[in-house]
């Protein structure tokens, strides 16, 4: 039973990370109707920027928020420069551009920073919290907390601000949005900026666990896809909850189903994607578009 | 000087020319209608005014050249367009749909007051304000389109076939409200219609289009008496 609880707790911890990357994916999907395959590499790149700032002696939280600002600007620029020219092309074109972006960011990071793993600090104290026999890592708890704060911030932004409303409108019905005076192109760019920010948070929370290297997000991105698919690509809250569920399932299946162990864990994520797509394509909390014909 | 002056307007989709140089005016405070059958170029004319299609020719709004400007900029000058197909944001609530109409005006107490004002014109929208736009009936979505356009506080309101696919009673209701808005708020209206009898009953001035050209124009009362128009469009 202790093993069970411990596995659930550490599953929630990794799940929080999957959830935050999933949140970034959902952000871009909601703002632009595109699934951004380069999301993981954007997060990795942002984390290297944070590492550079920290190495230059900037205090942690200054570096943290500085990275968020730079990531936002970087995301906006990426959209304007790389995505804009293919904005009205078929979806496959955009997907391929995103994959190209993934490869480029990965190589550029490797070229600048090398492929040697680097330690990345956690802002939370190293002493774990022990309840009975179950150990809670403070970084794990902190990471989940940070993810929930980001989620709450995004929820408030999209629900209660005029800009958030305009972004949702632009994603849904660009033509009608223009007739309301909304500059649709800029809404898409801001969507990319926000997603880059959310990704940066995820990267800075992942790096203390997996160490910083250009490939650190590769596996996590697949778990994030599973999380977003499970929770629903149209539901930010669902994506985070999906992340937590995926984290726990992954750990429990790895522990109790012997032939899976640690080697086949990633397969669990892929199987989950398949099962959700077959039985409930809109995910647990996503909504299928309502149309009245 | 007319509020909207259009001279020699041409428009094309790809290689197909849809408007072959049309002229028309919309007088400040009036209701002008453009009549014509399917494919006459009525919708394209409205889209051209809003910068939604590539055009040549001159379009002036309150004396300023607006041809070639982006849709977003034209809207900021005070031209609201309730488009063909109604343009509903199907996944947003009715109230969010309306707030988007006032997007260029920013938020604030002003917008909240205007929400109450359009709910006054369209009480059914007030009842449905928490529902998503996609769940409304066709008539309700048309009301939403007009109401959203009004949230801009426009000087000129463009209406694209508001009667299309609606029951006669609903059509009468919508036109009655358009008339009220025109009279009480001094909003000028450019109405594009196939339903000539309703449109001529409402408008001061009318233009008749056929295959991308204006073939007749005049005061609405005169066009109602025109034998050719009566036979072709009014059916008596």
Count CB atoms within 10 A of the CB of residue A95.
14
At B96-149, the pLDDT tens digits run 999 999 999 886 788 999 999 999 999 999 999 999 999 999 999 999 999 999
CB B70 within 8 A of CB B147: no
Q: Given the DSSP bridges, would you call strands B213-219 and B205-210 parallel, antiparallel or unpaired?
A: antiparallel
Mutate to test the interface with B, among A30, A179, A282 (most CBs of B within 10 A): A179
* Domain extent for B73: 4-87+155-234
Q: Calculate mean pLDDT across residues B180-207.
A: 92
Residue with tokens 């092309």: A89
Q: What is the pLDDT of residue A35?
A: 85
Question: What mean pLDDT do residues A195-207 have?
Answer: 92
Bridge partner residues of B25 (DSSP): B5
Residue A142 CB contacts under 8 Å (≥ 6 apart), including other chains:
A122, A123, A124, A205
Give domain status of residue B14, yes or no: yes
Our count of domains for chain A comes to 1
The rounded distance, in Å, linking the Cα atoms of A35 and A193 is: 15
> Does the residue B116 lie in any domain?
no
Task: Give the range among A95-99, A193-197, B12-16 with minimum mean pLDDT.
Answer: B12-16
Asked if residue A262 belongs to a domain, the reply is no
Domain span at residue A74 reads 2-217
Chain A residue with Cα closest to B77: A181
Distance CA A89, CA A234 (A): 22
Confidence band of A290 (pLDDT split at 50, 70, 90): very low
Q: CA distances (Å), B107 to each of B92, B157, B215, in order?
A: 17, 21, 44
Query: What pLDDT was estimated at residue B102?
Result: 94
The dihedral formed by the CA atoms of A204, A209, A213 and A219, expressed in degrees to the nearest 10: -100
Mean pLDDT of chain A, nearest integer: 88
Rounded CA gap, B184 and B177, in Å?
A: 10
**Banded pLDDT at B234 (limits 50, 70, 90):** low
Residue with more model confidence, A149 or A270: A149
Query: Per-residue pLDDT averaged across B4-25, rounded?
Result: 91
Task: Decide if B87 and A173 are in contact by the 8 Å CB cutoff.
Answer: yes
Task: Pick from A181, A187, A234, A291 the residue to mutate for testing the B interface (most B CBs within 10 Å).
Answer: A181
Confidence of residue B196 (pLDDT cuts 50, 70, 90): confident
For residue B178, name the pLDDT band (cuts at 50, 70, 90): very high
Residue A17 has pLDDT above 60, yes or no: yes
Q: Is residue A112 part of a domain?
A: yes
Q: Which of A165, A179, A287 sits opposite B81 (nearest CB)?
A: A179
d(CA B33, CA B1): 18
User: B56: which 2 tokens?
Assistant: 């040549």
Q: Are A101 and A41 in contact (CB under 8 A)?
A: yes
CA nearest neighbour of A195 among A71, A57, A49, A16: A71
Contact across the interface for A181 and B72, Cβ inside 8 Å: yes
Which of A166, A175, A290 is opposite residue B100, by nearest beta carbon?
Answer: A166
Residue-level pLDDT at A292 = 43
Asked if residue A291 has pLDDT above 60, the reply is no
> Which residues fall within 8 angstroms of residue A69, CB to CB, at 6 or more apart?
none
Selection from A210, A206, A244 nearest residue A227 by Cα: A244
- Identify from A161, A163, A180, A188 which residue to disrupt to test chain B contact, counting B C-beta atoms within 10 A and taking the largest count: A180
State the Rg of chain A over Cα.
19
Q: Residue written as tokens 């944070």? A: A50
**pLDDT value, residue B130:** 94
The total number of structural domains that make up chain B: 1
Q: Distance between CA atoms of A239 and B210, rounded to whole angstroms? A: 54
> Average pLDDT, stretch B61-80?
93
Task: Output the pLDDT for position A112.
Answer: 93
Q: The tokens 């999933």 sit on which residue? A: A22
Measure A165 CA to nearest chain B CA, in Å: 8
Q: What is the pLDDT of residues B77-103, one digit of tens each?
A: 999 999 988 999 998 999 999 999 999
Residue B93 lies in a domain: no
Which CATH number covers residue B210?
Answer: 3.40.50.300
Domain-located, residue A278: no
Please write the tens of the pLDDT for every residue from A97-112.
Answer: 999 999 999 999 999 9
pLDDT per residue as tens digits for the range A242-288? 999 999 998 888 888 877 777 777 788 888 888 888 888 888 887 76
Residue found under tokens 């009936």: B137
Task: Please give the pLDDT value at position B235.
Answer: 66
Percent of chain A with pLDDT over 90: 45
For strand A129-131 and strand B31-36, is the pairing parallel, antiparallel, or unpaired? unpaired
Mean pLDDT of chain B: 91
User: Residue A271 has what pLDDT?
Assistant: 85
Query: Is A117 part of a structural domain of the chain?
Result: yes
């Amino acid at each position: 039973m202790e093993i069970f609880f411990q596995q659930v707790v550490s599953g929630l911890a990794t799940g929080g990370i999957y959830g935050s990357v999933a949140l970034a994916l959902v952000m871009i999907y909601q703002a632009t109707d595109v699934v951004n395959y380069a999301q993981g590499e954007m997060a990795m790149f942002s984390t290297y920027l944070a590492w550079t700032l920290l190495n230059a002696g900037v205090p942690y939280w200054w570096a943290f928020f500085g990275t968020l600002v730079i990531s936002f600007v970087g995301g906006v620029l990426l959209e304007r420069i790389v995505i804009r020219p293919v904005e009205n092309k078929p979806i496959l074109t955009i997907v391929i551009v995103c994959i190209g972006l993934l490869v480029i960011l990965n190589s550029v990071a490797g070229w600048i920073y090398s492929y040697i793993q680097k330690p990345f600090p956690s802002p939370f104290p190293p002493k774990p919290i022990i309840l009975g026999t179950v150990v809670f890592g403070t970084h794990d708890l902190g990471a989940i907390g940070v993810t929930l704060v980001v989620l709450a911030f995004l929820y408030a932004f999209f629900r209660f601000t005029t800009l958030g409303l305009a972004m949702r409108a632009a994603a849904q019905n660009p033509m009608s949005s223009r007739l309301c005076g909304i500059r649709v192109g800029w809404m898409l760019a801001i969507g990319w900026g926000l997603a880059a920010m959310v990704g940066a948070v995820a990267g800075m929370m992942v790096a203390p666990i997996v160490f910083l290297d250009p490939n650190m997000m590769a596996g996590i991105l697949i778990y994030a896809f599973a999380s977003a698919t499970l929770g629903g690509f149209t539901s930010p809250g669902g994506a985070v909850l999906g992340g937590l569920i995926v984290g726990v399932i992954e750990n429990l299946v790895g522990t109790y189903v012997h032939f899976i162990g640690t080697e086949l864990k990633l397969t669990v994520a892929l199987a989950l994607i398949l099962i959700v797509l077959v039985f409930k394509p809109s995910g647990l909390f996503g909504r299928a578009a309502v149309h009245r014909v | 000087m007319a509020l909207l002056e259009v001279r020699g307007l041409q428009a094309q989709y790809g290689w197909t020319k849809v408007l072959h140089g049309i002229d028309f005016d919309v007088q400040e405070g009036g209701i002008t209608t453009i009549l014509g059958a399917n494919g006459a170029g009525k919708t394209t004319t409205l889209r051209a005014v809003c910068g939604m299609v590539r055009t040549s020719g001159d379009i002036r709004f309150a004396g300023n050249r607006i041809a070639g400007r982006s849709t977003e900029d034209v809207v900021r000058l005070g031209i609201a367009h309730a488009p063909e197909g109604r343009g509903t944001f199907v996944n947003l609530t009715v109230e969010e749909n309306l707030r988007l109409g006032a997007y260029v005006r920013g938020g604030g107490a002003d917008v909240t007051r205007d929400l109450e004002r359009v709910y006054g014109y369209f009480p059914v929208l007030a009842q449905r304000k928490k529902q998503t736009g996609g769940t409304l009936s066709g008539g309700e979505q048309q009301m939403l389109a007009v109401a959203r356009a009004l949230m801009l506080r426009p000087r000129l309101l463009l209406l694209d076939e508001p009667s299309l696919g609606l029951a006669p009673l609903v059509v009468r209701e919508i036109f009655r409200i358009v008339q009220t808005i025109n009279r009480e708020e001094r909003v000028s209206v450019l109405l594009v219609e196939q339903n000539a009898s309703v449109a001529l009953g409402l408008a001061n001035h009318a233009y008749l289009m056929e295959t991308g050209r204006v073939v007749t124009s005049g005061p609405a009362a005169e066009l109602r008496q025109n034998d050719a128009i009566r036979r072709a469009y009014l059916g008596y």
